[in-house]
């Protein structure tokens, strides 16, 4: 049987150690007494589900009015507007190429922009020379033609839909109304959005230019640059020209 220790012996042992200068408990593990006390991290609240961004209706771009409140009343006034109106391009009036011809022409030849080398006369370079040969074969005198462009200066790769949004549709419509041609020959598919063509339709479906109660026969063709590069397009144009003029007879 184990021998019981009397409480007086336990008290005497503590007194002995206290007299020896030992009054604290010791352990083998090192303690860093200068360390900062640990920071108690609060449990993170569950992340709030991000609200879905509100979908706003697209704001339509403001309509651009290039023609102004007092549009040109005749071709002379339009020519002045064409050569001087600052809003027609960012470059300014310098270097613009005017249209040429008379009111009531048998045919209005319409291109997207002047040729790169045009200065005083529209279509004075290679495309113009091709057009002259075509008109001779079509038995149309150049004096019977009104030559016009959608843009006042050479601007390659111009997009018709973009130009329509920038107000050039109204400028072109005004130009055609003042020129009052008996027929329109438009070279270049990019022109079609400015003439009211639905992009879902075949270009050949656009047979008339309708504006403010008037209807002008219209023939849309590939651009003169394309006709120069691909001879087969010339044959197709010729067939379409004969069909178109046959309908006008």
Number of domains in the chain: 1
On the CB side of 155, CA atoms within 13 Å amount to 20
Mean pLDDT estimate for the chain: 83
Is residue 108 over pLDDT 80? yes
Q: Sign of the C-alpha dihedral, residues 217, 191, 105, 170?
A: positive
Q: Sign of the C-alpha dihedral, residues 34, 37, 38, 39?
A: negative
- The burial of 30, by beta-carbon neighbours within 10 Å (0-12 exposed, 13-18 middle, 19 or more buried), is given as exposed
What is the extent of the structural domain holding 219?
75-248
Structure tokens of 39? 């920071």
Give pLDDT, residue 205: 63
The three-class DSSP label of residue 142 is: helix
Please indicate, yes or no, if residue 51 is contained in any of the structural domains.
no
The answer to whether 179 touches 108, Cβ cutoff 8 Å, is yes
What CATH number corresponds to the domain at position 149?
3.40.470.10
Give pLDDT, residue 211: 81
Helices (H), the chain: 7-19, 75-84, 126-137, 160-165, 168-179, 224-229, 231-248
- State the CB neighbour count (10 A cutoff) for residue 205: 10
Rounded to a whole number, what is the distance in angstroms from the first to the last CA of the chain?
A: 140
Please indicate, yes or no, if residue 54 is contained in any of the structural domains.
no
Helices 75-84, 168-179: inter-axial angle, 10-degree rounding = 150
DSSP string, 124-138: -SHHHHHHHHHHHHT
> Own/partner pairs for 60-64, CB < 8 Å, 24+ apart?
61/165, 63/167, 64/165, 64/166, 64/167
Question: Could you report the per-residue pLDDT of 183-235, keeping only the tens digit for each?
Answer: 999 999 899 989 876 654 566 667 889 887 789 999 999 999 999 999 999 99
Give the integer Cα–Cα distance in Å for 248 and 224: 23
Give pLDDT, residue 165: 92
Question: Could you report the per-residue pLDDT of 47-62, keeping only the tens digit for each?
Answer: 555 555 555 555 555 6
Place of tokens 């071709």: 75
Please indicate, yes or no, if residue 234 is contained in any of the structural domains.
yes
């Amino acid at each position: 049987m184990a021998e019981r220790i009397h409480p007086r012996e336990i008290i005497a042992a503590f007194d002995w150690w206290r007299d020896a200068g030992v009054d604290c408990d010791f352990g083998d593990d090192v303690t860093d007494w200068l360390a900062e006390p640990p920071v108690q991290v609060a449990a993170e609240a569950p992340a709030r589900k991000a609200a879905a961004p509100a979908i706003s209706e697209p704001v339509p771009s403001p309509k651009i009015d290039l023609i102004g409140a007092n549009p040109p009343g005749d071709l002379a006034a339009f020519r002045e507007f064409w050569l001087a109106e600052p809003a027609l391009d960012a470059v300014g009036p310098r270097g613009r190429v005017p249209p040429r011809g008379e009111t009531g022409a048998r045919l209005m030849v319409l291109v997207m922009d002047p040729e790169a080398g045009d200065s005083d006369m529209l279509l004075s370079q290679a495309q113009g020379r091709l057009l002259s040969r075509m008109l001779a074969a079509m038995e149309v005198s150049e004096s019977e033609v009104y030559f016009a462009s959608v843009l006042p200066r050479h601007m390659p790769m111009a997009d018709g839909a973009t130009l329509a949004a920038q107000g050039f549709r109204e400028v072109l419509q005004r130009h055609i109304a003042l020129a009052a041609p008996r027929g329109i020959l438009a070279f270049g598919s990019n022109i079609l959005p400015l003439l009211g063509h639905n992009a879902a339709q075949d270009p050949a479906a656009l047979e008339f230019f309708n504006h403010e109660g008037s209807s002008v026969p219209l023939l849309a063709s590939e651009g003169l640059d394309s006709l120069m590069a691909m001879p087969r397009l010339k044959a197709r144009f010729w067939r379409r020209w004969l069909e178109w003029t046959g309908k006008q007879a």
